[in-house]
Amino acid sequence: MHWSDEAAERLGLRGGSQVIETGTSISGIPHIGNASDVIRGDCVRRSCQDAGVDARLIWVSDDMDPFRKVPAGMESLKDYLGFPVKDIPDPKGCHSSFVDHFANPFIEDLKEFGVEPKIYSATELYRSGAFKDEVVLAFEGRKNILEILNRFRKEPLPDDFVPWTPICQKCGKISTTTVTGLDGTMVSYECVDKEVAGGDTKGCGYVGVQDALKGFGKFPWRVEWAAKWHHFKVTCEPFGKDHAAAGGSYDTSKIISEEVFNWPAPIPVAYEFFTLNGAKISSSKGNVITLSDWLKIAEPEVLRYFMFKKLNKARDINLRMLPNLVDEFDQIERMHFGKESGDVESKRMYQLSQVQEPKYLNIPYTFCAVLGQVSEEQDYESRARWNGYDGFDTKRLKNRAKLAGNWVEKYGPDYLRFTLKTAEEVKAEYLKLDSRIQTCLTQLVDALESVKDPSIYHKKIYETARANNVDPPELFTAIYKTLIGKEKGPKAAMFLMSLGEEYLKQAYK
Ligand SMILES: [Zn+2]
Ligand SMILES: [Zn+2]
């Protein structure tokens, strides 16, 4: 059974309406790692739907979090360190805030992946008083919360701990305030110098009192998580392995949820993080791609498929090796369409990875990358048929050729990136070749009249070389040298076949 169908089954047993919560802290460009819990959460929603379980997906922008680190290229924002991210202006001036500048395109891109959660902003929830029940419950139960948090801490919190972080009413920072007292829901605090990851933040020295019900402040993270579960009646929560560790935030928030808010904790869907090009995804180190970057090089279904594979396995997205991932996806596509035998789980994975009604393509990504460089769009279909592909959706072919073309330019290996010479130019080179090699090339063009399969044609290249006393590598080099002026190129059989008979007849005869 697929993990998401398993989660849906557990949710069905839990009963009632299901709420799957996801969220992202907006401290810079949300990347595909941030997208993974939303896309996976939506997969659970879809499984619920298929199982007849009522479910909805929500996404909370964690925009009350303090601004801890200035993203690369936005040094103008360094004075905002320590402010709630929601209160930072858009450095580019095109949106109403820093958060919108990054969150809006992320939400738009998610739609392309078939994911449309109900959107909330943590700041708006706090400021509209949506959490007022939770504030009262958390303050009444603060001794209990203190005891629960201390169970998992090396250094215990002080006895007068208040589960609230105010925003300073004078300077607007959230990471500089220290609570000094509590009376009902009135929190006293002072604004002092504090250290944050991105550097020190200066407190303004203000001493004040604020009503937590007005929402100019927030719960500490583990309390906030539980408060959101209670507020939205969350029943399922996907999250990365770091929260799942023993004594980690899920364990703590679960107890707070059950003991303080009297809400049974959501069913966890924990997953292992994936890496990008062999390293941790990191905006500050530049090892990052966004959903919209992905949409320029591959279909959304391929990334969905990648995310829907086994959750508890560390995996890497290597952009240079992207064709291998697409090949894997094409294999489950063949299974789905009954062109290849396959197991139930693979077929289910294919179904879940679809954004729309599936259409068959099964034309390799690498072939598409070549196609875009050797022919005009209107010839793609006939070239593909000539290479033995059949029953495919032409619109998908055109789209994949465009995507693979973008990929080649940005991430592809050198041998796949080339400029094809004109037939006349090739002919001029051909005439300079040794006559044995000329014969080989002409025979290979003739062979295309009967051979329609690249793997058979591949063997044919070797046979032709040997029959004419030519070393096969010598023939391959001649092919690449004449066509693209390079020592190496795409797989020769597929490459020659993609060029079309007319071109080859002019070139090699
Ligand atoms: Zn903007
Ligand atoms: Zn202040």
Is 3-132+220-275's fold the same as 418-508's? Answer: no
How many angstroms is it from 102 CA to the middle of ligand 1?
A: 7
Tokens representing residue 308 in the block: 């829907």
**How far, in Å, from the CA of 170 to the mean position of ligand 1?**
27
Residue 23 to residue 211: CA distance in whole angstroms = 26
382 and 452 Cβ atoms separated by less than 8 Å = no
Q: Give the residue extent of every domain in the chain.
A: 3-132+220-275, 164-218, 418-508
Q: Are strands 186-191 and 207-211 parallel, antiparallel or unpaired?
A: antiparallel
pLDDT in tens, the chain (509 residues): 999 999 999 999 999 999 999 999 888 889 999 999 999 999 999 999 999 999 999 999 999 999 988 887 888 898 999 999 999 999 899 999 999 999 999 999 999 999 999 999 999 999 999 999 999 999 999 999 999 999 999 999 999 999 999 999 999 999 999 999 999 999 999 999 987 766 678 999 999 999 999 999 999 999 999 999 999 999 999 999 888 888 889 999 999 999 999 999 999 999 999 999 999 998 777 889 999 999 999 999 999 999 999 998 989 999 999 999 999 999 999 999 999 999 999 999 999 999 999 999 999 999 999 999 999 999 999 999 988 899 999 999 999 999 999 999 999 999 999 999 999 999 999 999 999 999 999 999 999 988 888 889 999 999 999 999 999 999 999 999 999 999 999 999 999 999 988 999 999 98
d(CA 54, CA 11): 10
Q: Among 3.40.50.970, 3.40.190.290, 3.40.50.620, 3.20.20.370, name the CATH number for the domain at 3-132+220-275.
A: 3.40.50.620
Q: Which residues contact 267 (CB under 8 A, 6 or more apart)?
A: 7, 10, 11, 14, 235, 236, 237
CA 165 to ligand 2 centroid distance, Å: 13
Q: Which two tokens stand for residue 400?
A: 């994949």
Ligand 1 centroid to Cα of residue 46, in Å, is 32
Residue at 115: amino acid letter: V
Q: Which ligand is the nearest neighbour of the Cα of 89?
A: 1
C-alpha–C-alpha distance, residues 376 and 66, integer Å: 51
Q: Is the CB of residue 284 less than 8 Å from the CB of residue 105?
A: no
Contacts of 338 (CB under 8 A, 6+ apart): none
Q: Which ligand sits closest to the CA of 205?
A: 2
For residue 342, the tally of other CB atoms under 10 A from its CB is: 18
Q: Are 372 and 365 contacting, i.e. CB atoms less than 8 angstroms apart?
A: no
pLDDT of residue 198: 62
Distance 79 CA to ligand 1 centre (A): 18
CA neighbor of 78 nearest in space, from 201, 194, 220: 201
Q: Which string of DSSP letters, residue by residue, matches 254-289? A: HHHHHHTS--PPPEEEEE--EEETTB--BTTTTB--
> pTM to 2 decimals?
0.93
Give the sign of the dihedral formed by CA 364, CA 369, CA 373, CA 377.
Answer: positive
Q: Pull the structure tokens for residue 403.
A: 């995507």
Which CATH number is 418-508 given? Answer: 1.10.10.350
Tokens for 301, please give them: 């279904």
Task: Compute the distance from residue 413 Cα to the ligand 1 centre, in Å.
Answer: 34
Residue 74: the pLDDT is 85
Nearest bound ligand to the CA of residue 95: 1
Q: In angstroms, rounded to a whole number, what is the distance separating the alpha carbons of residues 121 and 141?
A: 25
